[in-house]
DNA sequence: GACAACCTGACC
DNA sequence: GGTCAGGTTGTC
């Protein structure tokens, strides 16, 4: 479900509500979503202070005292929601933490999401986190060009590759490429430096604008308070197959790349 | 690379 | 009944 802007929004919401609180209780209601490889049990969080919550790519990392971290990946339909009261029975509720002043719930209809608890040495070896590429906002234009320049694969596939750059998924790959005027299936190696620099600017602009609008609620995404985002109303390409391009009035086309629906304007994107 | 798999639900 | 869905991972 969520990509960088959605995860960033959730992390900000949760930090504002939970930072500094003490864990009273924590537990899985369904261990199916427990990440394989995590070792300390969830009960070891009890009594610990939540130092802060961080985002790394699409991953959410809760930092607790005692060198413990909890890693959450929401995948397609996962949600982290705050609540004062216990929700009534919900078959999609899989994990909960009670803090002294609020509760945090993990819901996931499709059960693709994962939660794992690690100490710092285990966290350093985490198979997904340890291989993650740089954060988009940390990249200079030359570094961005270097990262994508020689790649012999469609630029959209490279943009969504978490080991090349972290946090971009299907929506923001399509939107960034629209903003840069680049066809999603163009091989990265065929794009000259100026156009790659333009793409870098577009990625940053699109991600920032999406964060400002609290993410895109196309299907399932809700923020930490259970509210929808607004960026779905501003999408130029994603999900607009057959509709008129907002810039040139041509019809938005759909192709499949890397097994994912890909939307672009054949006139604006070359 | 392409493709299926992991799951459930919405929609045609 | 079939298709599709903000993701990742393992197998051709």
A166 within 8 A of A134, measured Cβ to Cβ:
yes
Name the residue with higher pLDDT: A57 or A150: A57
Q: Strand C closer than 7 Å to the CB of A17?
A: no
Token pair, residue A158, equals: 């490279």
Phi, psi at A263, each rounded to 5°: -120, 135
pLDDT in tens, A188-211: 999 999 999 999 999 999 999 999
Question: What is residue A1's predicted lDDT score, i.e. its pLDDT?
Answer: 63
Active site residues of A: 2-3, 58, 260
Interval A86-111 mean pLDDT:
92
Average pLDDT in chain A: 95
Token pair, residue A174, equals: 């399509």
CB < 7 Å to strand C — which of 209-238 in chain A? 215-221
Phi, psi at A10, each rounded to 5°: -60, -45
Question: What is residue A243's predicted lDDT score, i.e. its pLDDT?
Answer: 95
pLDDT in tens, A120-179: 999 999 999 999 999 999 999 999 999 998 899 999 999 999 999 999 999 999 999 999
- Whole-number distance in Å between A49 CA and C8 C1': 31
């Amino acid at each position: 479900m969520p990509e960088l802007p959605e995860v960033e929004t959730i992390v900000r919401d949760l930090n504002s509500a939970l930072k500094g609180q003490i864990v009273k209780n924590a537990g899985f209601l369904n261990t199916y979503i427990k990440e394989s490889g995590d070792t300390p049990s969830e009960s070891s969080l009890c009594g610990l202070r939540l130092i802060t919550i961080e985002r790394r790519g699409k991953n959410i990392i809760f930092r607790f005292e005692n060198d413990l971290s909890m890693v959450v990946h929401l995948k397609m339909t996962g949600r982290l929601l705050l609540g004062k009261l216990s929700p009534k029975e919900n078959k999609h509720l899989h994990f909960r933490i009670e803090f002294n002043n609020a509760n945090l719930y993990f819901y996931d209809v499709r059960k693709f999401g994962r939660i794992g608890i690690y100490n710092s040495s285990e966290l350093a070896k985490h198979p997904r986190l340890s291989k993650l590429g740089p954060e988009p906002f940390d990249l200079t234009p030359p570094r961005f060009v270097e990262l994508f320049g020689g790649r012999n694969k469609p630029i959209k596939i490279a943009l969504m590759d978490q080991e090349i750059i972290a946090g971009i998924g299907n929506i923001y790959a399509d939107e960034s490429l629209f903003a840069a005027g680049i066809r999603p299936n163009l091989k990265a190696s065929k794009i000259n430096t100026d156009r790659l620099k333009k793409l870098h600017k577009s990625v940053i602009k699109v991600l920032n604008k999406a964060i400002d609008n609290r993410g895109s609620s196309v299907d399932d995404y809700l923020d930490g308070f259970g509210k929808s985002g607004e960026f779905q109303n501003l999408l130029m390409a994603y999900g607009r197959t057959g509709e008129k391009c907002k810039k040139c009035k041509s019809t938005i086309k759909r192709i499949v790349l890397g097994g994912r629906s890909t939307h672009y304007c054949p006139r604006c994107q070359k």
